[in-house]
Structure 1
Amino acid sequence: MTRPGGAVRRRLASITEAIASRLWPLPLVAVIAGVILGVALPVIDRAVDASLPSWVGTFVFSGGVDAARAVLSAIAGSLITAASLTFSLTVVALQLASSQASPRLLRMFASDRMVHATLAMFLGTFAYALTVLRTVEDATEDADEFVPRLALTAASVLTLSSVIVLTFFLAHLARQLRVETMMRDVHREASETIALMADDAPGAPAAAPARPGHARTVPAPTSGFITGVDREALVRVAAEADAVVRELRTVGENVVEGTPLIEWWPSDPMVRPDAETSERLAESLAECFSAAYERTPPQDVGFGLRQLADVAAKALSPGVNDPTTAVHALGHIAAVLGDLAERDERPAAWADADGAARLIPAGGGFADFAEVGLQQIRRYGAGDPDVAARLFAVIDDVAWRARRPSERDVLLGQLERLEASVAREDYDEVERARFADLGARARATLGRA
């Protein structure tokens, strides 16, 4: 059964990802806050300026109207320039990440909290300075000049804080551009997804019922990548309709509008629902799936492996020719596959509260993940001795964590395919002896009790 709060955590993760992957929410909030603060502080200034203790004057702005306007204008101009610089550097980082690592890593840079916070700091301070600037007043026949000293002091503090934030941003950006940092972040994100999906059990385990000949398909309502499936809702809808639902596509797959997404059939083989009931049920089932133009990590366990494999494949391309990066990526892939191997085995079907099988999940098995993580790298890297040796080591490492015979069979199949790929390459006798030793070691690990 689903652990308490598991569904809530998955929904919160999806909402957080949707917000975090957009660059504008936090800067927009900062601009609004800056405007509100720029309106409120001068009002407080008018109320308390005359009663401020004399010692406070040594800490607050003490210039006149012209000086106040000059300071605020300089702050506004410099901060909007710094915001433009931050955006430009972020664009450069996106270009480098796309060309040197993988286009699928761009989402991580767009979701970077440091980038969001830096833009928010600059734009918020800019909006604050402009708002305070309008409250500076020259002396007239009816009123004295007004300089919001507290507001000017706050503007100076915000500007100094922005300079500090810019320093940290530049150091952060230099670190984020390292491919090792990118792979570490992808690895951490994949591990979080695996932990989040560990409680994705909308019912009790059950045997999968046989598919009858009168099963009906539900087409995908839109094109794109499947980013989430509400399996609890699928079980509930199926139970209400006394039907069995079988997923045809899993999270992370690309679907085309109008192609089969799921299929269902009545639990009672003698029941034949009318067209209106079938259409209503199909709409309810389709609403349990969400799709978008790109893959996202909240429910997509294989997305992290896809990104790591992309980094390795890019590193092995003739234009980059960086096998060391591919070797490092394989280290992360081995760790993620090890986490997946230790997951509880997913049942063939899930049942409702009455014990009747309601949902047959699709894909997402260990064999699929191993293929994503190893296939392309084996194809492109079998001719490099270091990459080939690391591929043997990956199978050996994951084998130590594989608990079930089915997973060891998958790894054995990967080992045999790797040996066949290496055998076709032009290696000398010393290298072939090394690979033979690595293969024998992996076989011994797979054959342990």
Structure 2
Amino acid sequence: MSIWFDNVRDAFRTRLWPLPTIAVVFALLLGLALPELDSVIDDDLPGRVGGWLFGGDADAARSLLGAIASSMITVTALTFSLTVVTLQLASSQFSPRLLRTFTRDLFVQLTLALFLATFTYALTVLRAVRGSEEEGGVELVPKVAVTLAFVLAVASVLGLVLFLAHLTEQIRVETMLRTVHRDAVATMQTVLAERNPAGGDPTPVPSPPPEALTLLAEHDGFLTWIDQKGLLDIAVEEQALLRIEVHPGAFLVKGTPLGSAWSTEPGRLSDEVAERIATGVAGCIHVGFERTSAQDVGYGLRQLTDVVNKALSPGINDPTTAIHALGHTSAFLCALSDHDLGPEVLRDDDDEIRVVMQRPDLASYVDLGLSQPRRYGAADPQVLQRIFQVLLDLSHRVAPDQRSVVRDELERLSATVASQPFDPMERAGLESMGHQIRQNLEGPSDEYGAARDG
């Protein structure tokens, strides 16, 4: 239930229309109800309260409401245009995958909701104003309703000023990188358990026998999230063992294998049981047209890497931004090394393994974060120095059984340095950092625990 709620909330927050739509509906209802309330209470309001309310006649109320409605739709169009320009800038200058960061910005959604609600409310109240020359000969000026329209207009002016200030901050690359880093860490802490500092042998996971049922993907698209409880219930009910080879963030192609299932008893699964398992597993594998951060630990790292790649492209040529983004990559990879990245196993009430879900290991994440920046920044010694610094940071944090990951990446980075025509001073500086990393990796096996306990 929690996973389902998190995914629905993520889908809700990454779209611009839900909050403004809710605000428009609420403003419409309020604009219909408040004039009716006004007709009942206006004559009975105390004099002190009435002094704070709108005191004009029907023509003045119409002028005010008309001005508010016309100006608010103009301001809304301006705000929407600025938002679209910001999205275009983020897409072309940094990465298309940063668009979700802007569309889920609650401040932008609330600002649009306020403007549209004010426009809708003023327009709705306007229809309730009647002059004495109209049919019935009784003038109706809903004082409370018109006053509220004025208050909403003032709030919208303040909202516009704050929105411009907020937008100016949001388009800064520092703000975007901080937001991506924060969201990535939040996903990591939600999805991954912390690594046991004492180490220990990983839990052995069963491999599928030759007669295992191959589970196939039923839809094309990105795997957005997996219903783990649903998988466990299926495995327990059918007395089977499931092994899911794909992970959130992977792109599935209809008809290709995504895992396997086999009976805990000797022999093949019956056709009826196999069909139930295949149908049940398909219902637990949720596919979408884009990656989300709900369960995808690597999504934030992919965004950071995209910013680095874009900054190192000839059209942008902004190595400073690349170096800044690599700093966030280093912090995220170091935090990732503190978590359990092995296959995730789900057990039944008898502590028997029922579901095995493969997940990317540390080597996969390090390769995702560093391979492309190393390739595209191979000619810039400052970019390579920052990548060396990422490995140096990791060499201080990784456990003994993870050191080979840093060592392998270091060999690839050293080969890149050796292939470039750097001057002796630049080459010496990079080789010195490589030597320091090797020294850290050759330290005593208990250095990991001592560093973390300290």
| TM-score class normalised by the smaller sequence | over 0.9
| Range that drifts further, 140-149 or 224-233 | 140-149
Cα distance, 1:13 vs. partner?
A: 2.0
Residue pair 2:342, 2:359 contacting (<8 A) in 1 also: no
The equivalent of 1:438 in structure 2 is: 433
| Range that drifts further, 167-176 or 53-62 | 53-62
Specify whether residues 242 and 70 from structure 1 end up closer, same or farther in structure 2 by C-alpha distance, changes over 3 A only. Answer: same
The equivalent of 2:36 in structure 1 is: 43
Structure 1 residues without counterparts, runs of 5 or longer? 1-6
Cα distance, 1:199 vs. partner?
A: 4.7
Q: Are 1:363 and 2:356 an aligned pair? A: no
CA distance in 1, matches of 2:344, 2:226: 17
CA distance in 2, matches of 1:169, 1:448: 52
CA distance in 1, matches of 2:442, 2:370: 21
Q: Are 1:105 and 2:101 an aligned pair? A: no
The equivalent of 2:442 in structure 1 is: 447
CA distance in 2, matches of 1:125, 1:375: 50
Q: Return the letter of the residue paired with 1:331.
A: G
The equivalent of 2:55 in structure 1 is: 62
Specify whether residues 416 and 25 from structure 1 end up closer, same or farther in structure 2 by C-alpha distance, changes over 3 A only. Answer: same
Residue pair 2:223, 2:285 contacting (<8 A) in 1 also: yes
The equivalent of 1:340 in structure 2 is: 336
Q: Are 1:90 and 2:86 an aligned pair? A: no
Cα distance, 1:272 vs. partner?
A: 2.2
Specify whether residues 135 and 32 from structure 1 end up closer, same or farther in structure 2 by C-alpha distance, changes over 3 A only. Answer: same
* 1:30-429 to 2 correspondences below 5 Å: 30-139=23-132, 140=134, 142-199=136-193, 206-269=203-266, 271-347=267-343, 349-403=345-399, 405-429=400-424
Q: Return the letter of the residue paired with 1:124.
A: A
**Higher RCO, Cα 8 Å, sep 6+:** 1
Cα distance, 1:350 vs. partner?
A: 3.7
Structure 2 residues without counterparts, runs of 5 or longer? 196-201, 445-454
Residue pair 2:341, 2:359 contacting (<8 A) in 1 also: no
| Range that drifts further, 343-352 or 408-417 | 343-352
Residue pair 2:241, 2:353 contacting (<8 A) in 1 also: yes
Q: Deviations over 1:116-171 (max 9, x none)?
A: 10110001011100110011011157442111111111100000000000111111
Cα distance, 1:441 vs. partner?
A: 1.2
Cα distance, 1:275 vs. partner?
A: 1.8
Identity %: 47
Q: Deviations over 1:21-48 (max 9, x none)?
A: 1111100111111111111221221111
Residue pair 2:246, 2:359 contacting (<8 A) in 1 also: yes
CA distance in 2, matches of 1:200, 1:341: 9
Cα distance, 1:305 vs. partner?
A: 0.4
CA distance in 2, matches of 1:319, 1:348: 42
Q: Return the letter of the residue paired with 2:363.
A: A
CA distance in 2, matches of 1:392, 1:345: 23
CA distance in 1, matches of 2:129, 2:209: 79
CA distance in 1, matches of 2:131, 2:48: 26
CA distance in 2, matches of 1:346, 1:352: 19
CA distance in 1, matches of 2:130, 2:16: 36
Cα distance, 1:245 vs. partner?
A: 1.1
Specify whether residues 206 and 397 from structure 1 end up closer, same or farther in structure 2 by C-alpha distance, changes over 3 A only. Answer: closer
Residue pair 1:65, 1:138 contacting (<8 A) in 2 also: yes
Residue pair 2:246, 2:258 contacting (<8 A) in 1 also: yes
CA distance in 1, matches of 2:51, 2:189: 55
SS of the counterpart of 1:291? strand
Cα distance, 1:382 vs. partner?
A: 1.9
Q: Return the letter of the residue paired with 1:394.
A: V
CA distance in 2, matches of 1:33, 1:348: 45
CA distance in 1, matches of 2:341, 2:142: 66
Q: Deviations over 1:355-376 (max 9, x none)?
A: 3222222232111111111110
SS of the counterpart of 1:287? helix
Residue pair 2:262, 2:269 contacting (<8 A) in 1 also: no
SS of the counterpart of 1:264? strand
Residue pair 1:97, 1:106 contacting (<8 A) in 2 also: yes
TM-score of the two chains, using structure 1 as the length reference: 0.94
Q: Return the letter of the residue paired with 2:107.
A: M
Q: Return the letter of the residue paired with 1:171.
A: A
Cα distance, 1:395 vs. partner?
A: 0.5
The equivalent of 2:448 in structure 1 is: none
SS of the counterpart of 2:161? helix
Cα distance, 1:347 vs. partner?
A: 4.9
Cα distance, 1:349 vs. partner?
A: 3.8
TM-score of the two chains, using structure 2 as the length reference: 0.93
Q: Deviations over 1:184-203 (max 9, x none)?
A: 100000000011113599xx
* Aligned CA-pair RMSD: 1.7
Cα distance, 1:182 vs. partner?
A: 0.8
Specify whether residues 62 and 184 from structure 1 end up closer, same or farther in structure 2 by C-alpha distance, changes over 3 A only. Answer: same
Specify whether residues 200 and 443 from structure 1 end up closer, same or farther in structure 2 by C-alpha distance, changes over 3 A only. Answer: closer
Cα distance, 1:58 vs. partner?
A: 2.6
Q: Return the letter of the residue paired with 2:327.
A: G
SS of the counterpart of 1:217? strand
CA distance in 1, matches of 2:395, 2:75: 51
Residue pair 2:345, 2:357 contacting (<8 A) in 1 also: yes
CA distance in 1, matches of 2:414, 2:119: 61
The equivalent of 1:3 in structure 2 is: none
| Range that drifts further, 314-323 or 342-351 | 342-351
